[in-house]
Amino acid sequence: MHLPLGYTEQLVTPKSRRHTAAHWSFIADHVGTSIVLPDGCCDVILRFTVDEHHAPASISPIITGPATSPFSIDYAPGDGWAGLRIYPANARTLWGDQLSNAQDQILTGDDAVSQLPNLAALINTITPQTNIHDALLALPPLQNIDNDRHLVHQLIDLIHISGGQISINQLATSTSHSTRHILRTFRNMVGLSVKLYARIIQFHRALNLLQNANLSNADVAFECGYADQAHMIRAFKKFGGFSPSRIPSNLSLPGLPVI
């Protein structure tokens, strides 16, 4: 079974996404550049090349920290990536005590294997007939056994449902926890502050509306809770590197559940 050319992504079911938020793959059939947008998540990735028979070779593991900044990827025909987007509450399970310094960090090769030793066994089992996507899905799921994991699951859901517009006080009221406990627990488990994670979700909702709804920039800014268009422009510059009026066509968009 071969991976399809181009970018594909599949969100997983709500119960399963407590381990993995999505799995995705990209195999290039032309020379180009893609802008990868931040989603606040970590990824476990295998980078590889394919020949004319789509057999994988030159496999290299990659682990990313919680993503908050855009970056560009250059590719040529036959370049490929397959990845697991880790559910945000499992960031500490992946990074351990290094999570506090993992924001926007990228580990490759032996460093990635040291962080997630199961990658070594996975890479050793890959043959020219292996579907790398399926091999990644066979990795043992990251198990978060922290007592506060259900609270962080609830916080993440509330942030997504609100499009990133919910306040810390509202989160505290909805979950019956103190704001101090929420702020400390979320950062400890996700690797980002509640505010920064919510801003990323707010940005993606605004981008989704600009691309898919017949709304003006002013209407989108109002709908998404920005103070004004200038506020929205600053957010787009930070998280996308572009302005709302000049959205690039070569975006790699994570399928975040924003409404």
Cα–Cα dist 234/219, whole Å:
16
pLDDT digits (tens, 9 = 90+) for 184-224: 999 999 999 999 999 999 999 999 999 999 899 999 999 99
Q: pLDDT at position 61, please?
A: 96
Q: pLDDT band at residue 143, thresholds of 50, 70 and 90?
A: confident
If phi over 0 gives left and psi between -120 and 50 gives alpha, with beta otherwise, what is residue 252? beta
For residues 161 and 122, state if they share a domain: no
For residues 56 and 153, state if they share a domain: no
In the chain, the amino acid numbered 223 is E
Q: pLDDT at position 7, please?
A: 57
No. of H helices and E strands in the chain?
Answer: 10, 9
pLDDT digits (tens, 9 = 90+) for 91-129: 999 999 999 999 999 999 999 999 999 999 999 988 888
For residues 200 and 82, state if they share a domain: no
131 found inside a domain: yes
Q: pLDDT at position 63, please?
A: 97
Q: For the whole prediction, is pTM greater than 0.85?
A: yes
Q: Measure CA of the first residue to CA of the last residue in the chain; give whole Å.
A: 34
**Domain count along the chain:** 2
What is the domain extent for residue 12?
6-137
Mean pLDDT calculated for residue range 212-238: 96
Q: pLDDT at position 259, please?
A: 39
259 found inside a domain: no
Task: Look over the chain and give the mean of its residue pLDDT values, rounded to a whole number.
Answer: 89
Q: pLDDT at position 257, please?
A: 47
Residue 233 class from Cβ within 10 Å (0-12 exposed, 13-18 middle, 19+ buried)? middle
For residues 78 and 165, state if they share a domain: no
SS3 241: coil
143 found inside a domain: no
Using the Cα atoms of residue 71, residue 160, residue 195 and residue 182 in order, give the sign of their dihedral: negative
Cα–Cα dist 18/16, whole Å:
5
For residues 69 and 182, state if they share a domain: no
258 found inside a domain: no
pLDDT digits (tens, 9 = 90+) for 58-77: 999 999 999 999 989 899 99
Which of 91, 78, 106, 105 minimizes the C-alpha distance to 19? Answer: 91
For residues 50 and 88, state if they share a domain: yes
Cβ atoms 153, 18 nearer than 8 A: yes
pLDDT surpassing 60 at residue 253 = no
Cβ atoms 82, 54 nearer than 8 A: no
Q: pLDDT at position 4, please?
A: 45
Lowest mean pLDDT among 12-16, 34-38, 153-157, 208-212: 12-16
pLDDT digits (tens, 9 = 90+) for 160-177: 999 999 999 999 999 999
> Which run of H or E residues covers position 181?
helix 179-190
For residues 161 and 91, state if they share a domain: no
SS (H, E, C) 127-177: CCCCCHHHHHHCCCCCCCCCCCHHHHHHHHHHHHHCCCCCCHHHHHHHHCC
Residue appearing with tokens 């990659």: 62
Q: What's the distance, CA 137 to chain centroid? A: 16
Q: pLDDT at position 177, please?
A: 97
pLDDT digits (tens, 9 = 90+) for 37-59: 999 999 999 999 988 777 888 99
